[in-house]
Amino acid sequence: MSLRITCRSVPLLSLLLCMSASGDIGGGSGRVKTPYTPGKPVLVAEVARIKNISTRTRLLRDVPSEGTHVTGAGKDVGLAFVKGEKVAGNPSFIFKGTTEDGAKASIDFSELLSLSVVQREDVRVLLEVVQFPIITPEELISSKPTYSDLFEHNRKTVRMWVATRSAGKDLCLVGKDENKRYRVIAKINQLSTNTKVDLDYGTFVFGDINLPAIWWATESVTRDTKYPYRVVVKARASNPRS
């Protein structure tokens, strides 16, 4: 039996994506993951809107903490100062701290590619953060970069000291559980040192479809064969009759 894939057209300021439920992320061949309609102009306002959504919908998988073999995971990941295990209030979606030379640093979760703990002290940690892509929605639309351009010229590694204690509470990575309530994924000061934690992109719902919140995945970017976020559809092999 041949595999048929059908796409349902849904308007959203020119947003559209046909995605397979069995797809996963990988480079090379495969339909690109993008929230934008191929062949149609993308407005700066659209990019800014999805960038804002991306900030609040990042994913974490396999987050390692010191002293345990159990890794944490979660969706809609943010930061919160937590006492015990109960997350109260809304999380923050910005890493704030100071660089090694004392300058203030602030990195939005929509531009957070990965992080790792380099050094740990009593009430702070030194994080190594990879920021990507460092580009505004206006620049993205006007310059029309390829993925290779973005990755080569709009990415940097930042080392920043981040406070991990405040009013008796610990700074934690938090994410939503199956009941859409925030829970602790890991305490920042307990993350395994020199172990990279990669962030992935979540989705947002429009109508009856999920769109990936990869805000910078415009057509000039996704045309690049090195663009890594793709839907890989695998057909099931039929069993031969005995």
CB 158: neighbour CB atoms within 10 A? 17
Reported confidence tier of residue 25, pLDDT bands at 50, 70, 90:
very low
Q: Among 16-20, 88-92, 121-125, 175-179, which stretch is predicted with the lowest mean pLDDT? A: 16-20
Read off the pLDDT band of 232 (50, 70, 90). Answer: confident
Torsion of CA 220, 15, 131, 222, to 10 degrees: -30
**Residue listed under structure tokens 């590619």:** 113
168 has pLDDT over 70:
yes
- Take residue 195 and report the two structure tokens written for it: 């172990």
Q: Lowest-pLDDT range, 149-153, 179-183, 235-239?
A: 235-239
Confidence (pLDDT) at 72: 87
Average confidence (pLDDT) over 159-164: 98
Burial of residue 224 (CB within 10 Å: 0-12, 13-18, 19+) is: middle
Question: Does 11 sit behind a cis peptide bond, omega within 30 degrees of 0 on the bond before it?
Answer: no
User: 10 Å Cβ neighbour count for 19?
Assistant: 17
Residue 27 and residue 229: Cα distance in Å, rounded?
A: 6
Q: Give the residue from 155, 145, 154 showing the smallest Cα distance to 222.
A: 145
The pLDDT assigned to 29 comes to: 56
Across the range 108-123, mean pLDDT stands at 96
The reported pLDDT for the residue numbered 161 is 98
Residue 237, pLDDT score: 53
Per the rule left: phi > 0, alpha: psi between -120 and 50, beta: everything else, 18 is: beta
Give the pLDDT confidence score for residue 128 in this predicted structure.
Answer: 97
Angstrom distance (rounded) from CA 202 to CA 54: 7
Degrees to nearest 5, angle at CA 112 with 65 and 223: 125
Tell me the sheet residues that pair with 162.
Answer: 125
What percent of the chain has a predicted confidence (pLDDT) above 70?
Answer: 83
Helix (H, G, I), strand (E, B) or coil at 221: helix
| pLDDT greater at residue 15 or residue 93 | 93
**How buried is 84 (Cβ within 10 angstroms: 0-12 exposed, 13-18 middle, 19+ buried)?**
exposed
User: Measured between alpha carbons, how far is residue 104 from residues 17, 158, 189 in Å?
Assistant: 38, 11, 20
pLDDT at 69: 66
Q: What is the pLDDT of residue 30?
A: 76
Mean pLDDT of the chain: 86
Q: What pTM, to 2 d.p., does this model score?
A: 0.82
**pLDDT tier, 121 (very low <50, low <70, confident <90, very high otherwise):** very high
- List of residues 6+ apart from 231 with CB closer than 8 A: 19, 20, 23, 24, 30, 31, 32, 33
- pLDDT (average), residues 15-44: 65
